[in-house]
Amino acid sequence: MEKENVAQEANLILLENEKLMKKSFRMIISFFSLFITCAVLFIVLQQNKFFIFNLNRTFNNVPSPFVAEMFSLIFIIIIIIGFFLYVVFAYQFIQRKNLSESEQIVSLDKFEKLYSAVDIFSIVPIFLLIVMVINGFFFSFAQVEGVSMQPTFCDNDAVIIKYVEEYQHDDIVILEQNDLYLIKRLVAVPGDKLVVNASGVYVNDILIEDNMGNFYIAYQELIIPDGYYFVLGDNRDNSEDSRMFGLKAKENMLGKVIYKISTNTCPIEW
């Protein structure tokens, strides 16, 4: 009877070892498959300037909230640790495959502990893929620089932007201008009649702004063509906008501001 119990226990240990080896193989294949998928997506999304894992992205060239910068840094560290652990785990797995069953049983406890440690990081490529898809194709963070949108947005306000295909009147957008990223309001869209002269900015015969300053680009009854927009800052006395640099093409629009994270308030600076 005692021999039967010993034999049953040995069989259970062998079965446990076999199951662990199968689970380990599936986990390794799943991790590296997802990791390769993430790597391909990572390369593709380098063209998105607001992609939080963009290798050319720094706060100086693409302003973003401190929390977003810290998140990307911490997550990159976690990815490196997770990848290193899985390489070690895969190596140990291959080594164990070459051992006899009795030798595998001897090292079973040690391998189980390694499996448990690595299993914690199995969520990393899944989470990474979700973050990359959301951030690369739908939403991102940005940070306001300057006072041109006061009092709507203050300097250093953190905002969430959404990548959209179509823009409408009064949308607040992030746009690229001479390697700078500006936040402005759309006041005229394709199909609108635009007049800009010494008396002000008129959109569809409605006076939008009468403060033109010393320099502006004049338009006489221009019908804004498809793919172009006229933008202004809410702080009209302190804003470089379409009065100075003209219409902006759609490809210069990087996203629509949909949410202000900060709770700052600010008076207009004259």
The 10 Å Cβ neighbour count of residue 50 is: 23
| Rounded CA separation 225/162 (Å) | 24
| Rounded CA separation 42/49 (Å) | 12
pLDDT digits (tens, 9 = 90+) for 167-222: 999 999 999 888 788 999 999 999 999 999 999 999 999 999 998 877 899 999 99
> What is the per-residue DSSP string for 163-188?
--S---TT-EEEEEETTEEEEEEEEE
Q: What is the largest CA-CA distance in the chain?
A: 105
Q: Which two tokens stand for residue 153?
A: 């947005």
Strands 228-232 and 180-188: antiparallel
- Residue 41's closest CA among 163, 132, 141, 134? 132
CATH class of the structural domain 146-260: mainly beta
Residue that wins the pLDDT comparison between 63 and 223: 223
Distance of CA 116 to the CA centre of its chain: 31
Average pLDDT, the chain: 88
Model pLDDT, residue 223: 97
Model pLDDT, residue 7: 56
SS3 at position 114: helix
Whole-structure pTM value: 0.79
Model pLDDT, residue 58: 66
Q: pLDDT band for position 73 (50/70/90)?
A: confident
